[in-house]
Amino acid sequence: MTAYQAKTPDQNGFVAYTEEENGTWEILYKRQMELIKGRACDAYLEGFERLKMSSNSIPQLPDINRVLRKETGWEVAAVPALIPFGKFFELLANKQFPAAIFIRTREEIDYLQEPDIFHEIYGHCPLLTNPVFASFVENYGKLGLAASKQERVYLARVFWFTVEFGLIQQASDDLKIYGAGILSSTEETVYSLESDKPVRKPFELMTALRTPYRIDILQTTYFIIKQFEDIYKIMDSNIIEHIHQAIELGDFEPNFPPKEITAKAELPRNEHDC
């Protein structure tokens, strides 16, 4: 359940955001722009430049879509605050990225478990201008649409450890961020690269499939790719066979405490609930 209600666009797809809502975007935008300097990957920054988002008002989807369609044929689709997994996969399979058109309140400006428009537009859309990454997400949607409920649980892990919380070792050997869940989070942007607490390891499909995660804490494991082709190549029908193998092998022991122990003592921190 959610306390947020998505806005209703007009017949041209534009939304009348309030002054306070635009002000919230401005706060989030300006502080993240400072934090991602030297931390975001080149492909994200290049896509960000193409989108030319406003710094002081929430971007309108028709403006974002004009650029995405030109670059990769993608669009952003306005959706209610929460949608079923089936609808999520259907949209991705049709090159439409779902975005709930509401923005968090000032009281929840540092943490929101569900994805709002800042997470979706600022975090996800820049990389949808990259042809290889965009094709990976499209193929992910097609496979998810045909997958069983159990298989989707494991596909969600792939999405989580790549699209949401992925790191990339660029040609310069610098470790950078490409995951939207990190890039839209003030705390995790710094933590993911500079803290000595989390485990960082090269992306390997079977390992990722068997690795559990929690959505309400700073991540304890990050997977590193060298190029987007690394994840693009795994997104074919053979991944279902790997999922069945992962189910047989079982999950690795979590490297985080059970939620029941920490739920009352710690505030959730991640910006996005996949």
Q: Report the alpha-carbon distance of residue 252 to residue 88 in Å, rounded.
A: 27
List, in order, residues 6 or more apart from 60 with CB less than 8 Å away. Answer: 13, 14, 15
Residue ranges of the binding site: 119, 124, 164
Burial (CB < 10 A; 0-12, 13-18, 19+), residue 217, is: middle
Q: Is the separation of the CB atoms in 134 and 38 below 8 Å?
A: no
Residue ranges of the binding site for Fe cation: 119, 124, 164
Calculate the alpha carbon distances from 159 to 81, 196, 200, 209, 241 in Å.
Answer: 19, 24, 17, 10, 17
- Neighbour count for residue 237 (Cβ, 10 Å): 10
Structure tokens at 266: 């710690």
